[in-house]
Amino acid sequence: VNNGLLCVKGAYHFSAAHKERRLEAPLLRVNGTLQETTWEEALTTAARTFRELAEKHGPESIAFFVAPNVTNETAFLTAALARSLGSSNLFTTPGAGWPRFLKSRQGDFSTLVESDFILLYRVTPGVDYPVLARLLKKAADNGSWLGIMHQRTTTLDEAAQGVLRADREDCLRLLAALTRTGATGTASSSPEGTSEGTLEETLPAVEDRFRKKFAAFAAAFRRAKNPAVVCDTRDLTWQELRQLQELLAAHEGATLLPLVPWGNIYGMQKMGIGHSAGWSGESRTEELRPEELQPGAAPFHPQAVFTDACAHTILSATGQEKCKALLVVADEGKLPAALCRPGLFTVVITPFFREELAAAGILLPGTAYPETRGSYLNSEGRLQWTAQALVPPGGKENWEILMELAEKMGHRLETGDFQAIATEVQRLAAPGEEEDNKK
């Protein structure tokens, strides 16, 4: 994985499995309080309640939320459980339109070092994507022209050939100007690669304070044979996405490499999470066309932090009053208290107990990442497998919990043991790949 390079979390945050208050036994709400119980009683109660609510209010009264950092196997089984119950209410953290955006990505991180021009658009890789930062530094050392547009200082500023310190609005105008220069054809033979006349004709929106540095950006972009643009979708607006796609259209060799702050969001898409109702109620998953993108300040993705507002959006997708039960498969991130509101039967598979979960109906001890085996789909679309380093204190892995819950609901899923599940996941996520999934 990552050619032996570990991120900070992988190298130094292994103790996450033991921090906070670990759940070691299921908790069941009895007379208004959560009390320790057996797996048999917890799973039987959850299955019976889900089944009764589905029969009384219909299967669409049951919703499922899957945290974006769980494995493909966990996501696959959650989706299978929802389908067996007849519910299409499958959600994860990112907002409306993300499946189509991810399908429209054109770049490949494995060939990033071969790009002769790399634009980092409002990205801080040294902080948020440290492995990528090393790849970018290597590319710059090997001769790639590295340019940065951001209002923040980054760890790659010293390695970059050009840095435009600009806020979001200025960055948008600079992108538009770069698009115009990319569409003008071959650069002139002047030392800068772009004549003053061309600059005056094609860059009227560039302010004087940016003009000298921007001339170098424009020349490098026009000279490039295979330029790459790296953007961070965590804080990307629809207007920025539209401008980025126009930039790609202006240079036939350009590719877009979107970064996502959620570890397995590509896998979520392949496993069917968000394909149905999603946050926006849309079922479309085809490529996002530029004419569909509406300008505005609303982020393309919400912030990675999962807030109460996000939770209300999930519940309103099914109808606040129509949603009677919710199954949450959590990772190590925090969950909003709104997911455990009064009148909503909530079952949470989680490695930790937190105060915001005190109103849940049932808490089931899940796995932290060192205790997890399974696969993830990385940003290059490659299937990566993780080995289980520790035994979960609750005694069951997430996939086992979901399988047993389905069986007690009277739905025997097609796949049986973990190996069979992993094989099916590989078929869906990376057909034809020769990966060893027996790690």
- Domain of 50: which CATH number? 3.40.50.740
Extract the tokens encoding 353. Answer: 């107990």
Residue 323 lies in a domain: yes
Residue 382: per-residue pLDDT: 78
Question: Residues 111, 182: one domain?
Answer: yes
Question: Residues 41, 116: one domain?
Answer: no
Residue 114: per-residue pLDDT: 86
CB 340 within 8 A of CB 354: no
Residue 211: per-residue pLDDT: 87
Question: Residues 50, 124: one domain?
Answer: no
Extract the tokens encoding 313. Answer: 């959006």
Which residues in the chain land under pLDDT 70?
1-20, 94-106, 183-205, 261-262, 274-321, 379-380, 414-415, 432-439
Residue 365 lies in a domain: yes
Domain range for 150 is: 101-259
Residue 432: per-residue pLDDT: 63
Question: Residues 174, 105: one domain?
Answer: yes
Residue 250: per-residue pLDDT: 87
How remote is the C-alpha of 120 from its chain's centroid? 19
Residue 347: per-residue pLDDT: 97
Question: Residues 280, 421: one domain?
Answer: yes
Question: Residues 162, 275: one domain?
Answer: no
Residue 282: per-residue pLDDT: 36
Question: Residues 335, 226: one domain?
Answer: no
Residue 127 lies in a domain: yes
Question: Residues 85, 124: one domain?
Answer: no
Residue 2 lies in a domain: no
Residue 151 lies in a domain: yes
pTM greater than 0.85 (yes/no): no
Tokens 């590719």 identify what position?
Answer: 255
Residue 182: per-residue pLDDT: 74
Question: Residues 250, 213: one domain?
Answer: yes
**C-alpha to C-alpha distance for 297 and 351, rounded to whole angstroms:** 36
Q: Show which of 222, 237, 259 is a domain's final residue.
A: 259
CB 53 within 8 A of CB 412: no
Question: Residues 273, 234: one domain?
Answer: no
Q: Show which of 227, 259, 291 is a domain's final residue.
A: 259
CATH code: domain of residue 124: 3.40.228.10
Q: What angle do CA 400, 401, 405 make, to 5 degrees?
A: 115
Question: Residues 310, 403: one domain?
Answer: yes
Residue 250 lies in a domain: yes
Residue 434 lies in a domain: no
Question: Residues 283, 377: one domain?
Answer: yes
Residue 409 lies in a domain: yes
Residue 129: per-residue pLDDT: 82
When divided into structural domains, the chain yields a total of 2
Q: What angle do CA 399, 401, 403 make, to 5 degrees?
A: 70
CA-nearest of 381, 333, 379, 341 to 360 is 341
Q: Show which of 239, 259, 279 is a domain's final residue.
A: 259
